[in-house]
Every structure is written in structure tokens, then in C-alpha cells.
């Protein structure tokens, strides 16, 4: 991938180009920033630039043998580590178990999140993880000599998902890697990353994209009309992944919306038996999707509370969401909004800690029934 193909992030691009040209690039980088800001595309562009045999001051050439292999993600010195899930056919997965699907996902669109990745590998229920056996694969690959490039590049996507045993085995490798080896780790949050790994990396912070960058990308890369692009950019709040979903009215967002409506209607009506059926239907989903649904609920609670302020310019909802919220927003008010948001945050935290999904959701719903009557 070329730097010029990455949306926005001009400050980050110039910083990385300068550090490479001055031979001051750290051997262990940690890219941190909000979802959908382009951390993975930048990592791919940097990796290609490092091994380009005819690079200029601003970008890779795009034509040398190395660049052509990077364009297909098949360069022998480019390695990936990413969260995977156990499936019925793969009981002890590592990243290479899904490398074909990973390449296809990136080549189709390098802007995607964890849930979209797990959906693309048709995973069973469970939380994605970089399992302990992955550390052996990383050490084996990086102890080999570079095959054809100047640098060996190891891109680790979402290192916070790495099992502690895997992370601990990599500490020495990250601190003292083989010659001409570069680690690029990519995360949305520092939570869950071992402090001993953080201390061994140079952090580079990314900012969210601005509306004009998203609008231009939607119209030129996704072929979406300008009016729709402007609307999607407003609701996306700097997240290009979310902007694509909004512009295309994604099935994922529709799933969350329908689940939210039924949850609130059944809870307000105190229909316990129907709510237990609702819980059963949600627990059939992968845990990552459930966690994303809770995040969606938090957003909807916030937007419904703000809607009561009668300031449309600061309300960020799709037409369908807004139509529902015109009737529902009075039930989210000063007496319960903050408590509902706090309970949803607790649900998300407990899911992160691998709590029992049914017990967590049942406890939340019993509280929600009371809070909606406040």
C-alpha cells in the first residue's frame, strides 16, 4: 500500500517518512488511535516503504518487485499476527491458519474492525485471541534471515488480545530483535497490553479523521454520492469504518438497531418471558458481536438523552434511529440516563472478563426494567 492511498493522517505520514530517512525508526512501534482512523493502512504503507528498492522522499515507487509483492501482501519478509477464533475445523489456530482470508480482507478494504474480521472467517461463538502458540510462530519466523527485503516486518494487529503467556515469551524478542527487524503493533486502546510490552515500544498516536477527509474518501473510493457521504461523515465522528457502514446501511447496524428496539420495548413492558427469549437469541451470537451491541446501546442512550435538549445539530443518528427516538427519548432522562449508561459499561466490562453472558444480561435487564420506569 502507498502512503498516498491512506486517508488523511498527513502528520503521521511525514513523521514516519522523516524517521526512516534519518535512520531513527524504532524497532518496535505501537500505533494507537481510535477505530477507523487508518492505523493498519499506515502500517502497510510503512512496511512497503521500508523494503521498496526505489523509494523517494514521499512514498514507495509502487513498481519495483518488492512493491508489487507488497501490493498482493505476499512479500516473504512481511508477517502478520492477528486475533483468531477456534472453529469446528481448526482447534489450535494461529494467524497463518487464516492468512488467506486475512489477505483477501485487506485487499478488499484495509479499513475494518475486529467484529468484521471475525465475521469474514465464519467463526463460532467466542472471543478472539492471539493464542499462546502464536509466540512460537513469531520467534521462528523472525530468527530466519530476510529472504529478499532489507527489513523483516512483523505487524501485530490488536496486541491487547494476546494471551499473557504469548506476550511474555515475546518480551526478549521485542527488546532485542534480530537485525533489521521491525515490530509494528496496532491497537485502539492500551487496556489489556502488558506494561512490559508498552515499555519496549515507541508509541505513535493517531487522531480521528475529519469530516472532509471522510467525505472525499467515500465519494472517490466507495463511489457514494456527496449528500450521503456528508451525512455518513457527520454520524461517523471520525471513524471511516463506521462511515462506510452508515453510507451502505449495513446489516450489522440494522441488527443492533432491531435488538435495541426490542430490548427497550420489552423492558418497558416488563415482559420477562419475552426478555428471556431475547437473551437466548443474543447469546447465540459471537461474544465480540455482543460486546459491540453493548457499545451500540451506550451510543443510543447518549443520543436519546441529547435529543431531549432539542438541539438537532448535536444528535448523531440514522433516519431510522431518529424516527424511533422521537418517541422513545422522553424515557431517557436526567433520572435514569447516567445509571443506564453505567450499567451498560459494567456489562461490557464483565463480558471482557469472560463472565457468563446469560447471567450478565439477565442482571442488566432486571435493573433496566426498574430504571425505565424512573
Domains along the chain with CATH numbers: 3-205 (3.40.50.300), 249-371 (1.20.272)
Q: Quick check: 106 and 178 in contact, CB under 8 A?
A: no
Quick check: 314 pLDDT over 90? no
Give the model confidence (pLDDT) of 4-59 as tens digits.
999 999 999 999 999 999 999 999 999 999 999 999 999 999 999 999 999 999 99
pLDDT given at position 250: 65
pTM above 0.85, yes or no: no
Cβ partners under 8 Å of residue 50, min gap 6: 20, 25, 149, 150, 151, 153, 182
Q: Give me the residue label for grid cell 446489516.
A: 251
Cβ partners under 8 Å of residue 271, min gap 6: none
**Cell output for 131:** 493464542
Distance between CA atoms of 86 and 121, rounded to whole angstroms? 10
Give the model confidence (pLDDT) of 137-166 as tens digits.
899 888 887 778 789 999 999 999 988 888
Q: Nearest CA to 153 among 73, 84, 37? A: 73
Amino acid at each position: 500500500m502507498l502512503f498516498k492511498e491512506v486517508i488523511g493522517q498527513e502528520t503521521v505520514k511525514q513523521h514516519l517518512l522523516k524517521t526512516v530517512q534519518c535512520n531513527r525508526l524504532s524497532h518496535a512501534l505501537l500505533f494507537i488511535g481510535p477505530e477507523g482512523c487508518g492505523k493498519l493502512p499506515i502500517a502497510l504503507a510503512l512496511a512497503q516503504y521500508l523494503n521498496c528498492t526505489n523509494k523517494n522522499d514521499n512514498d514507495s515507487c509502487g513498481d519495483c518487485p518488492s512493491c508489487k509483492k507488497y501490493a498482493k501482501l505476499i512479500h516473504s519478509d512481511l508477517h502478520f499476527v492477528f486475533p483468531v477464533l477456534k472453529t469446528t475445523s481448526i482447534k489450535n489456530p494461529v494467524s497463518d491458519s487464516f492468512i488467506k482470508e486475512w489477505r483477501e480482507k485487506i485487499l478488499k478494504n484495509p479499513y475494518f474492525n475486529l467484529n468484521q474480521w471475525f465475521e469474514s472467517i465464519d467463526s463460532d461463538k467466542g472471543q478472539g485471541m492471539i493464542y499462546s502458540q502464536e509466540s512460537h510462530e513469531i520467534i521462528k519466523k523472525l530468527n530466519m534471515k530476510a529472504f529478499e527485503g532489507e527489513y523483516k516486518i512483523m505487524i501485530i494487529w490488536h496486541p491487547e488480545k494476546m494471551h499473557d503467556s504469548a506476550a511474555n515469551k515475546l518480551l526478549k524478542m521485542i527488546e532485542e530483535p534480530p537485525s533489521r527487524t521491525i515490530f509494528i503493533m496496532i491497537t485502539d486502546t492500551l487496556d489489556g497490553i502488558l506494561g512490559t510490552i508498552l515499555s519496549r515500544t515507541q508509541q505513535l498516536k493517531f487522531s480521528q479523521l475529519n469530516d472532509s477527509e471522510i467525505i472525499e474518501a467515500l465519494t472517490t473510493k466507495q463511489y457514494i454520492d456527496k449528500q450521503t457521504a456528508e451525512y455518513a461523515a457527520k454520524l461517523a465522528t471520525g471513524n471511516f469504518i463506521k462511515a462506510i457502514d452508515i453510507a451502505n446501511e449495513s446489516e450489522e447496524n440494522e441488527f443492533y438497531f432491531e435488538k435495541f428496539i426490542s430490548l427497550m420495548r420489552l423492558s418497558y413492558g416488563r415482559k420477562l418471558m419475552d426478555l428471556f427469549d431475547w437473551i437466548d437469541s443474543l447469546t447465540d451470537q459471537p461474544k465480540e458481536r455482543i460486546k459491540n451491541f453493548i457499545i451500540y446501546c451506550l451510543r443510543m442512550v447518549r443520543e436519546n438523552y441529547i435529543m431531549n435538549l432539542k438541539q438537532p445539530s448535536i444528535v448523531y443518528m440514522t433516519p431510522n434511529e431518529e424516527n424511533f427516538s422521537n418517541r422513545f427519548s422522553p424515557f431517557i432522562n436526567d433520572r435514569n440516563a447516567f445509571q443506564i449508561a453505567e450499567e451498560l459499561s459494567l456489562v461490557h466490562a464483565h463480558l471482557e472478563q469472560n463472565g457468563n453472558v446469560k447471567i450478565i444480561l439477565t442482571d442488566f435487564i432486571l435493573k433496566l426494567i426498574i430504571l425505565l420506569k424512573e
